[in-house]
Amino acid sequence: MRKLLLATTAIALGLSSAAPAFAEFNERNIRVSNGINEDHPVGNGIKAMQACLDEKSGGKLKLTAFWGGALGGDLQATQALRSGVQEAVVTSSSPLVGIIPALGVFDLPFLFASAQEAYTVLDGDFGDMMNEKLEAAGLVNLAYWENGFRNLSNSVRPVTKWEDFEGMKVRVMQNNIFLDTFQNLGANATPMAFGEVFSALETKAIDAQENPYVTIDTSKFFEVQKYVTETNHAYTPFLFLFSKPIFDSYTPEEQAALRECAIVGRDEERKVIQDLNKKSLEKIKEAGLEVNVLSAEEQARIREKSKVVYEKHKAAIGADVVDAILAKLEEIRK
Ligand code: TF8
């Protein structure tokens, strides 16, 4: 009887000592900016991440998302993170090569052969190595989310072989590797921030752009384009970046919750994107665009012609970084 009483008291004490609930968490408003629109799968990822944060922090860690570049483009938002005036951004890696040259490795044409391959590399040691470089630049990458394989859209003609790129005015991201890849194919490539692309296409200041089907759909590019070619010429990841100065001021529990929940969000976002990719392609076709798929021979020709881009940019990216990813890919493909 006495024993039982002691045990009961211990349980009661144990319970009461756990209060107040979520003491390790503070009320935080985390602004997350994006260049894409809310109906992009990043929207689903953020919802899943928020549900996870609600559970872990008792509702104290709150994400507020800003869509369509409302807080500025990828590069501008990333700089705001580095100086500690904005908490988070979901950005492509490509516009950030001016800050972290090694990220250019993801821009090399035809690097990844499948999304699964990309997941293995990004979620493993190679991804961790890139995260260290990001940290040194004041950016904490919570997880690699998905942008996806990029395809070409244009308003002038069907593109089924590399000669069709000749003279085409193609918008590329603010990134030398993309610039060279398209110039090397004969295109007239122009670097431009994502937020300017729709109106540049609409006014015909440019003929073409390249992005995954999901973006051609959700950013409404299909409304101002006539042709799409499934080129799959690059898989550029999204980074869920957090301001390092702000992250460092958070409690270890808050930091752990953010890291864990960014992975929950990533998994949801990747799942939704795989499904929406097919639906977006159907929508693009239904809107009357002509969709071409590059033949295996053409893919091989373009790939061969693009090899020079690897050589040209290897030193700027870091020979060790390029060699490391190629070795990793070889290992995976065995
Ligand atoms: C691009 C990128 C963008 C994304 C988006 C702004 O073409 O692929 O679509 O970074 O989040 O600039």
207 in a domain, yes or no? yes
Choose which residue among 215, 235, 238, 280 to substitute to test ligand 1 binding: the one with the highest number of ligand atoms within 8 A of its C-beta: 215
For 305-326, letters b (16+ CB in 10 Å) and e give ebeebbeebbeebbeebbebbe
175 in a domain, yes or no? yes
Q: How many domains does the chain have?
A: 2
322 and 219 in a common domain: yes
Q: Please give the average per-residue pLDDT across 52-78, as a whole number.
A: 97
The CATH number that applies at residue 223 is 3.40.190.170
State the average pLDDT for the chain.
95
91 and 42 in a common domain: yes
3 in a domain, yes or no? no
325 and 210 in a common domain: yes
Atom of ligand 1 nearest to the CA of 73: 6
Q: What's the Rg (C-alpha) of the chain? A: 23
Atom of ligand 1 nearest to the CA of 42: 11
* Closest residue to atom 5 of ligand 1, CA basis: 35
Q: Which stretches of 161-234 are assigned E, i.e. beta strand?
A: 169-172, 188-191, 208-211, 227-230
pLDDT at site 21: 86
pLDDT tens for each residue of 84-102: 999 999 999 999 999 999 9
171 and 75 in a common domain: no
225 and 198 in a common domain: yes
320 in a domain, yes or no? yes
pLDDT at site 20: 78
319 and 189 in a common domain: yes
Atom of ligand 1 nearest to the CA of 92: 10
40 and 79 in a common domain: yes
* Cβ(90)–Cβ(30) below 8 Å: no
- Give the rounded distance of the alpha carbon of 310 from its chain centre: 22
43 and 127 in a common domain: yes
Using the mean position of ligand 1's atoms as its centre, give its distance from the Cα of residue 194 in Å: 6
Using the mean position of ligand 1's atoms as its centre, give its distance from the Cα of residue 51 in Å: 25
Q: Please give the average per-residue pLDDT across 151-179, as a whole number.
A: 97
pLDDT tens for each residue of 294-305: 998 999 999 999
Domain that holds residue 47: 26-146+236-279
113 and 33 in a common domain: yes
Band of residue 331 on the pLDDT scale cut at 50, 70, 90: very high
Atom of ligand 1 nearest to the CA of 40: 11
Using the mean position of ligand 1's atoms as its centre, give its distance from the Cα of residue 214 in Å: 11
7 in a domain, yes or no? no
Q: Please give the average per-residue pLDDT across 202-219, as a whole number.
A: 98
168 in a domain, yes or no? yes
Q: Please give the average per-residue pLDDT across 156-177, as a whole number.
A: 97
252 in a domain, yes or no? yes
35 and 72 in a common domain: yes
117 and 75 in a common domain: yes
pLDDT tens for each residue of 6-57: 555 545 444 545 557 899 999 999 999 999 999 999 999 999 999 999 999 9
6 in a domain, yes or no? no
242 and 222 in a common domain: no
